[in-house]
Amino acid sequence: MHYHTIVIGAGPAGLFAAGQIGKSGRKVLVLEKNAQAGKKLLISGSGQCNFTHSGPIEHFFTRYGDHEKFIKGALTRFTNEDTIRFFEQAGISSETRENGKVFPKSSKSIDVLNALLMVCKKCNVEVKYNQGVSHIERYDGIFTLETQDGERYLADHVVVATGGKSFPHLGSTGDGYRLASALGHTVVEPRPALTYVTTHERTYCALSGISFKDAGVTLWHENKKQVERHGSLLFTHKGLSGPVILDATRWMMPGDQLTVNYLYPMTYEMVRDQFAKEIPERGKEGVLTYLKQFDTLTRSFCETVLEHLGIPNDQTCARLSKKEREMLVTELTRCTFNLSGIGGMNSAMVTAGGISLKEINPTTMESRKQKGLYCIGEVLDIDGDTGGYNIQAAFSTAYVCATHLAK
Ligand SMILES: Cc1cc2nc3c(=O)[nH]c(=O)nc-3n(C[C@H](O)[C@H](O)[C@H](O)COP(=O)(O)OP(=O)(O)OC[C@H]3O[C@@H](n4cnc5c(N)ncnc54)[C@H](O)[C@@H]3O)c2cc1C
């Protein structure tokens, strides 16, 4: 029962790390709480597993909120190309879709999971299921791990790969935070990320399902600009969603404001000047017809905008007052939404927050608080954008840890 390394959690981070350490001939055990491995991995990418993204690895650096500095080294040492190569060697070829997302060619997440398990098996890594670790202690340089059923295991090194707190029914219930804090770690408050938002304004809720391919979104906290992004935006029956919203949720709090520019990349000033020049020249042409020249604005959206502003649907350009024109420009380029809520942990694809990065060495993933303890994957205070960035971070942090432990 004494191992060189015990990995807690059989998600992508834990399994990948275990396989890589196992390759060096070390005695490795994975303890998994569930009756099966990788439950979250199996549902990722709608069951197809978007395991990384295409393009130069430098483009990944800005995809992890404010944590570029920490994650950069790991991503550089185990890149998206390395991930693709790893799976190719395991017999899983990949395909890059139009939006740059990389999936297994079979579109089956089970193939990705099986490849990870196969490497573990080949390297004699033991994987034990229904073994939820509830307690860790370190005495005389040796870790003792105790499970919920009272089983005990000893190890020289422990890797915490227990994931975050989102989708808790899949096994990630925040145990890693408790285990690490008991060993002296600080946990940055876990928050739901990559989720939808609800808004006080319900103007566009009837248009639920309508999306904009490239809308500009600015987040404001107490009237201070937090972040500006652009991308695909979706109206929902209670607020907003779509990648541009999901990617910004890591910074959002109820009470914050969002301003949406439906005519991005045109700015407020550009639209104001264009409307001021063109609308008075259009005479009897309907305002609705004028607005339809903008490809991104659907008829139902324009009708809702006019109704919301109290402008009749059949208003002609000639009769549109200056005030109405300005209201129209503001609604189309600086449409304001007050956030009433952020989707909870049951709908968040990842957890923002987690084990503080200040206490982890980014070149090894070893704890600066407890020698021999390592933390990898989503349990860390790292969350990536949608598009394969989270699973890539799980592999990259696992690789850095494993190469250090395999030495
Ligand atoms: C619906 C959904 C879709 C997603 N789609 C994508 C996608 O397409 N691309 C992408 O990059 N990311 C995606 N993600 C995010 C991605 O799945 C996670 O970031 C990734 O799985 C994190 O890997 P991990 O190994 O760190 O943690 P997890 O995958 O959460 O694995 C942690 C493991 O640890 C186990 N565990 C927890 N506590 C204990 C304990 N006390 N003892 C023993 N075991 C324990 C858990 O049961 C679990 O098996 C998605 C997430 C969700 C919810």
Q: Which residue's alpha carbon is nearest to atom 24 within ligand 1?
A: 163
Element (H, E) at 142: strand 142-147
Q: Which residue's alpha carbon is nearest to atom 53 within ligand 1?
A: 349
Task: Map tokens 């439950």 to a residue.
Answer: 39
115 within 8 A of 92, measured Cβ to Cβ? yes
As for how many domains the chain has, the answer is 2
Q: Max Cα separation, the chain?
A: 87
For 171, counting Cβ atoms within 10 Å of its Cβ (0-12 exposed, 13-18 middle, 19+ buried), the class is: buried
**Residue 163 CA: which ligand 1 atom is closest?**
27
Nearest residue to 351 via CA among 380, 326, 331: 380
- Tell me 125's DSSP state: -
Domain boundary residue among 294, 324, 342? Answer: 342
User: Do residue 293 and residue 359 come from a single domain?
Assistant: no
C-alpha–C-alpha distance, residues 124 and 401, integer Å: 19
**Residue 348 CA: which ligand 1 atom is closest?**
53
Percentage helix, strand, coil for the chain under 3-state DSSP, each rounded to 5: 35, 25, 35
Predicted pLDDT at 98? 82
| Residue from 44, 120, 151 whose mutation best tests the ligand 1 pocket (most atoms within 8 A of CB) | 44
391 within 8 A of 49, measured Cβ to Cβ? yes
Element (H, E) at 401: helix 389-406
Domain boundary residue among 342, 365, 394? Answer: 342
User: Do residue 116 and residue 219 come from a single domain?
Assistant: no
User: Do residue 164 and residue 211 come from a single domain?
Assistant: no
Q: What angle is formed at CA 33 by the lines to CA 376 and CA 180, rounded to 5 degrees? A: 40
| Residue from 390, 399, 400, 401 whose mutation best tests the ligand 1 pocket (most atoms within 8 A of CB) | 390
What is the DSSP annotation of 42-82? Answer: HHGGGGT---EE-S-GGGGGGGSTT-HHHHHHHHHHS-HHH
User: Do residue 295 and residue 354 come from a single domain?
Assistant: no
User: Do residue 157 and residue 212 come from a single domain?
Assistant: no
What's the number of CA atoms in the CB half-sphere (13 Å) around residue 31?
28
218 within 8 A of 228, measured Cβ to Cβ? yes
Predicted pLDDT at 186? 98
Q: Do β-strands 152-160 and 2-8 pair in parallel, antiparallel, or remain unpaired? A: parallel
Q: Is 345 helix (H, G, I), strand (E, B) or coil?
A: coil
376 within 8 A of 398, measured Cβ to Cβ? yes
| Residue from 87, 99, 391 whose mutation best tests the ligand 1 pocket (most atoms within 8 A of CB) | 391
258 within 8 A of 219, measured Cβ to Cβ? yes
User: Do residue 155 and residue 229 come from a single domain?
Assistant: no
User: Do residue 147 and residue 223 come from a single domain?
Assistant: no
Distance 192 CA to ligand 1 centre (A): 14
pLDDT tens-digit map of 234-292: 999 999 999 999 999 999 999 999 999 999 999 999 999 999 999 999 999 999 999 99
C-alpha–C-alpha distance, residues 52 and 3, integer Å: 31
Domain residues for the domain of 277 are: 197-342
C-alpha–C-alpha distance, residues 161 and 393, integer Å: 12
User: Do residue 97 and residue 138 come from a single domain?
Assistant: yes
Q: Which residues, 6+ apart, have CB-to-CB distance to 280 below 8 Å?
A: 317, 318
What's the number of CA atoms in the CB half-sphere (13 Å) around residue 293?
10
At 159, which CATH number? 3.50.50.60
Residue ranges of the chain with pLDDT lower than 70? none
Predicted pLDDT at 111? 98
Torsions phi, psi for 232 (to 5 deg): -75, 130
C-alpha–C-alpha distance, residues 123 and 32, integer Å: 18
Nearest residue to 259 via CA among 226, 287, 293, 296: 226
Measured in residues, the chain has a length of 407
311 within 8 A of 328, measured Cβ to Cβ? yes
User: Do residue 98 and residue 171 come from a single domain?
Assistant: yes
**Residue 46 CA: which ligand 1 atom is closest?**
3
For 183, counting Cβ atoms within 10 Å of its Cβ (0-12 exposed, 13-18 middle, 19+ buried), the class is: middle
Domain boundary residue among 322, 342, 362? Answer: 342
User: Do residue 259 and residue 323 come from a single domain?
Assistant: yes
User: Do residue 178 and residue 220 come from a single domain?
Assistant: no
User: Do residue 99 and residue 112 come from a single domain?
Assistant: yes
Predicted pLDDT at 324? 97
